[in-house]
Structure 1
Amino acid sequence: MREGMIPAVLGTVVSASGAALLGSRYKLAATGILGFGLAHVVLGAIDLFGRR
């Protein structure tokens, strides 16, 4: 498996769960979870495409 794939996939899952929570009363926590997931997606993508 290519390096960076695990953080990108995990970040996608975390971002989806944060986006699902945005409609609840925990908007601040949901925004933090969403941002944390998006950061993992970006860092995973850098690992995937940066070492070509």
Structure 2
Amino acid sequence: MEGVREGLIPAILGTAVTSTGLALRKNRRIQPMVRGSIIGFGLAHVVLGAIDLVEHRQ
């Protein structure tokens, strides 16, 4: 169960960060590069969490 938790936390965090980045796309005061970086950071966490989940599944 510990391995699942290790992968689940980054995946949930990444989902939240990606959602925040997508919500910020409508905000014109934030530069597109910053919005894209936030979305990319979130997606990277989702991918890394998914890799952990697959690796620790038995």
Of Structure 1 and Structure 2, the greater helix share is in 2
The answer to whether the aligner puts 1:47 opposite 2:52 as a matched pair is yes
Ranges in structure 1 where 5+ consecutive residues have no aligned partner: none
What TM-score does the superposition give when structure 2 sets the normalisation length? 0.80
Read off the aligned partner of 1:38 and give its amino acid letter.
Answer: L
Read off the aligned partner of 1:46 and give its amino acid letter.
Answer: I
Deviations 1:3-36 (A, max 9, x none): 2100000000000000000121222211100000
1:31-42 equivalent positions in 2, closer than 5 A: 31-42=36-47
* Superposition RMSD in Å: 1.2
Task: Give percent identity, aligned residues only.
Answer: 56
The answer to whether the aligner puts 1:18 opposite 2:21 as a matched pair is yes
Read off the aligned partner of 1:19 and give its amino acid letter.
Answer: L
Shift of 1:51: 2.7
CA distance in 1, matches of 2:26, 2:36: 11
CA distance in 2, matches of 1:36, 1:44: 12
What TM-score does the superposition give when structure 1 sets the normalisation length? 0.88
Ranges in structure 2 where 5+ consecutive residues have no aligned partner: none
Give 1 or 2 for the bigger CA radius of gyration.
2
Equivalent pairs counted in the alignment come to 52
